[in-house]
């Protein structure tokens, strides 16, 4: 199956937030997102923008689930945010119930998804690269037609939210 890859540039944390928010506004069906990048790349900040676009209530503060492993939020589509950084073995993904959440009618974002087996289960893969103190390159790819269309729409948005 053909894979579509796009690249978005961000010059600031605020712009990264707006880009993610713009993506969240476009998601209207369950979606599984693998999110990767070095420590400090802004993965959780990206999820905060995505959550805003999905309609997570303003009073709900989206935080890194590094210690809880998974946080869930009510929105237009429920949002599950997992962080696998602390897992020592890929089998632990079963223990925390992540696969069940990924099968639900929700948007599931997994930071450090490369720590689990079966990357092909993700609809979108997003990688954030650090360039200097605040600039980021956001690379996204999708293989299914629906999510490729979503990325094309996102790429055409030159003035996010």
Is the pLDDT higher at 113 or at 22?
22
Average pLDDT, the chain: 89
Convert the pLDDT of each residue in 81-91 to its tens digit: 998 887 776 77
Least confident of 7-21, 52-66, 123-137, 141-155: 52-66
Domain positions in the chain are 4-156
Interval 20-52: pLDDT, tens: 999 999 999 999 999 999 988 999 999 999 999
pLDDT of 120 > 80? The answer is: no
User: What's the pLDDT tens digit per position in 125-148?
Assistant: 999 999 989 999 999 999 889 999
In the chain, DSSP finds a helix count (H) and a strand count (E) of 5, 7
Highest mean pLDDT among 60-74, 105-119, 139-153: 139-153
Model pTM score: 0.91
Alpha helices in 5-127 (DSSP H): 13-26, 43-54, 92-95, 98-102
Superfamily (CATH) of domain 4-156: P-loop containing nucleotide triphosphate hydrolases (3.40.50.300)
pLDDT of residue 101: 85
Measured in degrees and rounded to the nearest 5, phi and psi for residue 64 equal -70, 130
Neighbours of 78 (CB within 10 A): 17
- pLDDT of 92: 74
């Amino acid at each position: 199956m053909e894979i579509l890859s796009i690249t978005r540039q961000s010059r600031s944390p605020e712009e990264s937030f707006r880009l993610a928010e713009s993506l969240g506004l476009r998601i209207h069906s369950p979606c599984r997102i693998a999110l990767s990048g070095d420590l400090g790349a802004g993965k959780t900040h990206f999820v905060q923008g995505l959550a805003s676009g999905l309609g997570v209530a303003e009073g709900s503060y989206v935080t890194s689930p590094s210690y809880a492993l998974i946080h869930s939020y009510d929105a237009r589509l429920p949002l599950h945010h997992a962080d696998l950084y602390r897992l020592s073995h890929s089998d632990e993904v079963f223990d925390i119930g992540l696969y069940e959440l990924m099968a639900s009618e929700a948007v599931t974002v997994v930071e450090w998804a490369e720590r689990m087996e079966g990357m092909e289960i993700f609809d979108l893969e997003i990688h954030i690269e650090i360039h200097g103190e605040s600039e980021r390159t956001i690379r996204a790819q999708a293989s299914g037609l629906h999510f490729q269309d979503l990325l094309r729409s996102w790429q055409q948005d030159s003035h996010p939210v």
